[in-house]
Structure 1
Amino acid sequence: MNGIDSCIDDEIPFTIPQKWSWIRLKNISTINMGTSPIGDSISGNNENGFEFHQGKIFFGDKYLNRSNVYTTRPIKFAEENSLLLCVRAPVGKLNITRRNVCIGRGLCTIKPYGNIRTEFLYYFLLTYEKYFAQNSTGSTFKAITSNVIFNCLFPLPSLDEQNKIIKTIEKVYSILK
């Protein structure tokens, strides 16, 4: 808010450890909403094209699978090791990309800053799918705005604590499999 701090006490959803802090997603990452390339630049031919993703169709369990759709005129990219968030039906689905890809208007990319682990942000935002759905608009197709994403509150622990949390979550997932 124009460099002016404001009280967020009424927005805090739960108590966090004393050494953690609440921060908005826009303050710990670069967030870009996707933009679809011109229709005649999209095809199944990858010759001189960039891999293109419009929604969750090629989402894997955690990591983005390869698309069979390409564009010769990309507009927006998701960088390697970024999160892809569905901003249109189904709102809130999430994946991590291991490579640069072009994204259309059904996705946004979230690239955490250096002191934030992508995996930690991924696991946290998985818990926010319902929040994103509740803050979506539209009657035929639900969608969330950039404002909803930018202002999402995020509990930020130290990098050491993030690493411990990731290790614990991945250990539990491996046991469940």
Structure 2
Amino acid sequence: MDGIERCIDDEIPFDIPEGWCWTRLGTMIGVQRGASPRPKGSPEYWSSERTPHHWIKISDITKYTQNDYLYDTDEFLTDLGTTKSVFVDSDYLITAASGSLGKIAKLNISGYIYDGLMCMCFKNTSLEMDYIIILIQAMVELLMSLSTGTAWKNITTDILKNLLIPLPPLSEQRRIVEKQRELFDKITLI
């Protein structure tokens, strides 16, 4: 896989199949933490009515996600509020950076994320978004061990950017995603 930055041999946690490589997540995608307008709830930043500016929180991922896609939010920002946050669109994944680590969603809406979320921007065509979802969910324990805080776990953008990931060729990423869907479909039939 040409053009992919690989990690140093002494960092490799375990062997992976031939044709795969170890790389850091941040070399493949952009990672950015959200930002929150202050003070929270100020009518200057938050609208009492629905606007085109969705304000995305972890609770929205729980409440409004179907088939891994976030489709709505409870709160909305004003035009001024958008200048104090981080914009996300459909080529982004969002993931919890504090509290519910591993909670992750694709976007079926555009919006703005608060500081308890991070976004991952997919501009690289050698990555399957659903493969990264599987990896993040599988690495929750590792993320917890790298986090700070005792009662409320928190990861930094550097932790996510420097996360070592096993990267198969794109065709194999797609096969892994399809196999996982097939197995989940069997589980839901039981």
Report the TM-score, using the length of structure 2 for normalisation: 0.82
> What is the aligned partner in structure 1 of residue 96 from structure 2?
86
d(CA) in 1 for partners of 2:89, 2:13 = 30
Tell me how far 1:88 sits from its aligned partner. 0.8
Matching of residue 105 in structure 1 with residue 109 in structure 2: no
| Structure 1 unaligned regions, length at least 5 | none
Tell me how far 1:166 sits from its aligned partner. 1.2
How many pairs align? 172
Contact 2:98/2:154 (CA < 8 Å) preserved in 1? yes
Tell me how far 1:64 sits from its aligned partner. 1.7
> What is the aligned partner in structure 1 of residue 150 from structure 2?
139
> What is the aligned partner in structure 2 of residue 45 from structure 1?
49
Tell me how far 1:173 sits from its aligned partner. 0.9
Q: Could you tell me the percent identity over the aligned residues?
A: 25
One-letter code of the match for 2:61? F
d(CA) in 2 for partners of 1:6, 1:64 = 32
Contact 1:56/1:86 (CA < 8 Å) preserved in 2? no
Runs of 4+ in 1 over 6 A off after TM superposition: none
One-letter code of the match for 1:157? P
> What is the aligned partner in structure 2 of residue 23 from structure 1?
23
The one of 70, 74, 87 equivalent to 2:76 is: 70
Decide whether aligned partners of structure 1 residues 44 and 133 sit closer, same or farther in structure 2, where only a CA change above 3 A counts.
Answer: farther
Contact 1:77/1:101 (CA < 8 Å) preserved in 2? yes
Decide whether aligned partners of structure 1 residues 131 and 44 sit closer, same or farther in structure 2, where only a CA change above 3 A counts.
Answer: farther
Task: Tell me the secondary structure at the aligned position of residue 112 of structure 2.
Answer: strand
CA RMSD of aligned residues (A): 2.0
Task: Tell me the secondary structure at the aligned position of residue 144 of structure 1.
Answer: coil
d(CA) in 2 for partners of 1:29, 1:6 = 14
